[in-house]
Structure 1
Amino acid sequence: MLSISACADLNEKPIGVFAPETFFKTRKDVETAVLGAYGVIASENLFGRQFICALQFRGDMVDIGNRATSAERIQMNDFNMDSNNGMVTKFWPQWFQAINAANSAEAGGMSLGLSEAEINPLIAEAKFIRAFSYYHLVRNFGDLPYIDFAVTDPASLKTTSKTPEAEIYAGIKADLEFAKKWLPNTQKNNIRTRPTAGTAAAYLASVHLTLGEFQEAYAEAKFVIDNKALFGYELEADYEDNFKGSIANSLKETIFAFDFLGQQNVGGNNDDSLVPMVLVLNLTGGYGVSVPSMNVYDNWDARDYRKKVSFIDTLMVDGVAHPYSDFSTKRPHIGKWARDFGNGNAIGRYSDHNFSDFRYAEVLLIAAEALGEISGSTDEAVGYLNQIRARARNWAGTQTDFPADVAPGMTGGDFIDLVMEDRRLELAFEWKRWYDIKRRDMGKEVFTGPNSLEPHDNFDSSRDYLMPLPASELRINPNLAPNNPGY
């Protein structure tokens, strides 16, 4: 969107902007545009590193390890960035490139004059990508321009103003409802890197949960759960399998992910740089940047298999075991994605990972939380949570007795607290924690409270729940002013 004008002289003919009515001739052209949007998101600036690492840094589960890293990352982590932050200026325009690709695909599909049955599944996929992109954007920036049409003249956007959050969420829900109606129940070869009706319903459940619309969140989550066989969803028996690049394409727990192809990089897309961000600096050649605080490790019960999977606290190098006291940052590092990245280079870059943005486990947690808000810790609500806990008791085939099942009858608030704690552990380091902190207004508690895992005394809920719009965008279009509070 605005990035198109930010990267081009508006007196010149913009490159990469086309008119849907002239470019799109066949259904295949529409599909090509849809697939191109995935390529934009599977880039170093978004799901390859910058955006998902920013979400990790904002939460209380990942701290900066190697503080010789770039200042933009430290600022993101420490809640002291301004509107020139380099991470924001990288991922903001990339999101709008994906949105414009989706908008163009939608407009192109509508221009072909095909029947609904022929074209609506692809239009639904374009709408899903737009909803997916805006769902991430609105949670981080609040009010921002909502563009749901193909941009053929970047100069026309110089006067675009911000759209209220409520209107953006309305657009997101409308797009997901359309996607749920028209997307197939499964994709060819049962791949999870293109959405299905189940994917759309799962994201609808998440959107409603974010907005505190618990009845609707429960209904959508229940729809996915009741139809899990139709969509091919189930919890993987071994929790660790979710984070193995070598089997990423066969995981039934994945609801939606971005596919990275090992040892391939095309024009900045398909660039997985998350793995080196979490690898130990001095012993593997990784960057050692995204590293949990010691409190996160110390406060996690060692009987929980998810702790073993989520951390590397001892590293074997050339047959020698190195405890974390030998690491450059003397703390246990993230183990997810680091042990098995499939085909990649020596430090895991350009891996085979499919980085999942949604797992079936989260659907169960949404159902438990939403139903807990509606009717408390009923047998049904507790049952969803206990499915997560039962899987956590499986240590790669060996059954244990921790964490124990939860019994019904807890007070409503206590049950919700328990669900939130299980979300923190189940989804550790998966860029979900920040969204939970924000939607539950837990920032002051988790960053400045006595039990803080990653203390930041400067956290300010009036400022830090939103990121700043890039200063470069406000210079191009003053109608975007004022920036978010505090920037």
Structure 2
Amino acid sequence: MKTYKYLFLLIGLSMIGCSDLEEEPVGLLSPTTYFTSIDKLQVAVNGAYGYMHNRYFLTRETGMTLMLRSDMIEISDPNTRQERIDHDEFTDLDDNGQTRVSWPIMYQIISAANQAIAGAETINADEAEVNAVVAQAYFARALAYYHLVRQFGDIPYLSEPVTNVEEGNNIEKTAAADVYTNIIADFTFAKTWLPTTQATKSIPSAGAASSYLASVYLTMGNYPMAYAEAKDVINKKNTYGYDLEPDFQNLFNSALVRDSKEPIFALDYIGDTSLGNYSTDYLVPFTGIRADDQYGSGQEGWAVLVPPLKAFTTWDENDYRRAVSFNTTGVFDGTERAYNQPPTAQELLGDSNSQGGFNAKDARNKNQPYCAKYTRFRGESGGNGRASSHAYSLMRYAEVLLIAAEAANEVTPGSQEAHDWVNEVRERARDGAAGSTPSASPADVSGLSGAAFTDMVLEERRLELAFELKRWYDIARRKLGTQAFSASGLEGAKSFSEDDYLIAIPEVEQERNPNL
């Protein structure tokens, strides 16, 4: 995404008449006059991907919602915004400020994609060449709707640009089942016309579309199709250029991840804040330890999001992924400190209530290991930590293996294929870093089938994909809420009901359109 030019002039209606996103027009472009070449089509398509890098999408508001509603992240700073606490405690209502800004950004992605798809119809060029570019827009539209439908259920489905505000403000919701049908159609078009490989993983390929199709089918509970699609990606891994990264840590090292074969589709940041909301990466500071300087000057975190302590203590210490996923130490004023370190005599003299550990430096910290996937090898930083050089893997090959395994077990319980695919992922977790001695755990999967295998593979997804915005979707699709948020869960007992599997459509959108 580093070379993308972001196009915003074409986005006439960023959302369904969303008044708080109105912009002063600097010029008017008509699709019939602008879309005169494939190059201009590509610029229009890039607009959709530009919106994906906005802070309101996955690296701040939307991403924070997905993290907090899972059982793998809780609030660290008790004085943080109430809108965040409400998602963590499932007390969010339709006036939640975090939801209010995350809803329109996904429709902005869709609006940009729809403009490109409509504009492609006017280009007089070879159909295959046009389709290879416009397929990127179909992919972007499908991805945005895939997030929307899993979060909100029945939603407005727009398949073409909105040109009449009044009509846009009266559109009715589309049933979730029909939204999924359209998502499948878009990803299928993308799979058909996208090339097998791209110059960068931030541009979708046919393999990325196929991988997302497998994920969509899994979410829908269509296990035969999820199995078939995921297995097709696995069978074509050499064609697509996919494989597991030998060292799990490299997937979260901004200097190395772009050379890895494992990422399938990524959001690519360049450590720059000059584009404001379109280049800032808030996952790093939000998950960092406040006042921690272990990764260099100016890289302190904000201590807003922290894994529950039980997520760390119940994780097999021989599993290499635990060491990669957590920070158990910090550096404060030049001194290294562990999260569970007792307070010093001097700290007790200064504050008799000092708990030691991370809390001794700043009360907003918790004495719990923090998420390290984003903070440890972030690359370039700036703007009070609001930037990184991460290329975030929104889909990677390990997830395809686990999709295939889960679906295969549903189709043929106890399938050897299913065991082999999980074992492939676990083998890397045992091997550890390059040059280290492999451990005995996590052990190969053997003898499991049916429900026992399903439980295991969902736990494997929880560990392998920890903090990568996947866990809440797994809880929702498998209806694990009452189990995950029970007294024996990672966060302890929470008030959770069936209604909490969906988020309320923002009040401001309901006021604008009574059909919502």
Q: Which amino acid aligns with 1:216?
A: M
User: Among 417, 428, 431, which residue is 2:469 paired with?
Assistant: 431
How much has 1:48 moved relative to structure 2? Answer: 2.5
- Distance in 1 (alpha carbons) for counterparts of 2:177 and 2:25: 32
Q: Which amino acid aligns with 1:350?
A: A
Corresponding residue SS for 1:246: coil
How much has 1:54 moved relative to structure 2? Answer: 1.0
1:317-341 residue CA offsets vs partner (Å, 9 max, x unmatched): 4652211132121111001121110
Q: Which moved more, 1:424-433 or 1:323-332?
A: 323-332
How much has 1:376 moved relative to structure 2? Answer: 1.4
1:106-144 residue CA offsets vs partner (Å, 9 max, x unmatched): 111111132221200112111000000000000000001
Corresponding residue SS for 1:467: coil
Within 5 Å, give how 1:58-457 maps onto structure 2. Answer: 58-188=69-199, 191-284=200-293, 285-317=300-332, 320-325=335-340, 326-327=357-358, 328-345=365-382, 348-397=385-434, 398-448=436-486, 450-457=487-494
Q: Which amino acid aligns with 2:281?
A: D
How much has 1:298 moved relative to structure 2? Answer: 1.2
The alignment covers a number of residue pairs equal to: 475
1:165-219 residue CA offsets vs partner (Å, 9 max, x unmatched): 011000000001111100000112xx10010000000000000000111110011
How much has 1:258 moved relative to structure 2? Answer: 0.7
How much has 1:249 moved relative to structure 2? Answer: 2.1
Q: Contact 1:2–1:157 at 8 Å: present in 2 too?
A: no
User: Among 18, 37, 46, which residue is 2:57 paired with?
Assistant: 46
Q: Which moved more, 1:393-402 or 1:296-305?
A: 393-402
- Distance in 2 (alpha carbons) for counterparts of 1:106 and 1:52: 27
Q: Which moved more, 1:396-405 or 1:241-250?
A: 396-405
Q: Which moved more, 1:212-221 or 1:390-399?
A: 390-399
Q: Which amino acid aligns with 1:379?
A: Q
Change (3 A) 1:404 1:276: closer
Residue 5 (structure 1) aligns with: 17
Residue 22 (structure 1) aligns with: 33
Identity %: 41
User: Among 503, 506, 513, which residue is 1:467 paired with?
Assistant: 503
Q: Which moved more, 1:398-407 or 1:132-141?
A: 398-407
- Distance in 2 (alpha carbons) for counterparts of 1:16 and 1:153: 18
Corresponding residue SS for 2:67: helix
How much has 1:280 moved relative to structure 2? Answer: 0.5
How much has 1:16 moved relative to structure 2? Answer: 8.2
Q: Contact 2:15–2:111 at 8 Å: present in 1 too?
A: no
Q: Contact 1:341–1:348 at 8 Å: present in 2 too?
A: no
Q: Contact 2:109–2:144 at 8 Å: present in 1 too?
A: yes
Change (3 A) 1:407 1:476: closer
How much has 1:403 moved relative to structure 2? Answer: 2.3
TM-score when normalising by structure 1: 0.94
- Distance in 1 (alpha carbons) for counterparts of 2:91 and 2:395: 29
Q: Contact 1:2–1:473 at 8 Å: present in 2 too?
A: no
- Distance in 1 (alpha carbons) for counterparts of 2:331 and 2:207: 40
Residue 7 (structure 2) aligns with: none
Change (3 A) 1:13 1:268: closer
- Distance in 2 (alpha carbons) for counterparts of 1:13 and 1:139: 33
1:32-61 residue CA offsets vs partner (Å, 9 max, x unmatched): 111111111101111231111110001000
Residue 350 (structure 2) aligns with: none
Change (3 A) 1:75 1:108: same
Q: Contact 1:254–1:356 at 8 Å: present in 2 too?
A: yes
- Distance in 2 (alpha carbons) for counterparts of 1:293 and 1:16: 50
Q: Contact 1:2–1:154 at 8 Å: present in 2 too?
A: no
Q: Contact 1:393–1:402 at 8 Å: present in 2 too?
A: yes
RMSD of equivalent CA atoms: 1.9
Q: Which amino acid aligns with 1:3?
A: M
Change (3 A) 1:2 1:385: same
How much has 1:347 moved relative to structure 2? Answer: 5.5
Give unpaired runs (5+ residues) of structure 1: 481-487
Q: Contact 2:74–2:305 at 8 Å: present in 1 too?
A: yes
- Distance in 1 (alpha carbons) for counterparts of 2:394 and 2:465: 10
- Distance in 1 (alpha carbons) for counterparts of 2:458 and 2:198: 32
- Distance in 2 (alpha carbons) for counterparts of 1:202 and 1:316: 40
1:272-291 residue CA offsets vs partner (Å, 9 max, x unmatched): 11100011013343111110
1:411-452 residue CA offsets vs partner (Å, 9 max, x unmatched): 31111111111111000111100000011110001102x421
Give unpaired runs (5+ residues) of structure 2: 1-12, 294-299, 341-356, 359-364
How much has 1:253 moved relative to structure 2? Answer: 0.7
TM-score when normalising by structure 2: 0.88
Q: Contact 2:318–2:442 at 8 Å: present in 1 too?
A: no
Corresponding residue SS for 2:266: strand
Change (3 A) 1:432 1:233: same
How much has 1:162 moved relative to structure 2? Answer: 0.4
- Distance in 2 (alpha carbons) for counterparts of 1:16 and 1:353: 34
- Distance in 2 (alpha carbons) for counterparts of 1:143 and 1:344: 39
Q: Which moved more, 1:240-249 or 1:306-315?
A: 240-249
1:9-30 residue CA offsets vs partner (Å, 9 max, x unmatched): 99x9877885422322211111
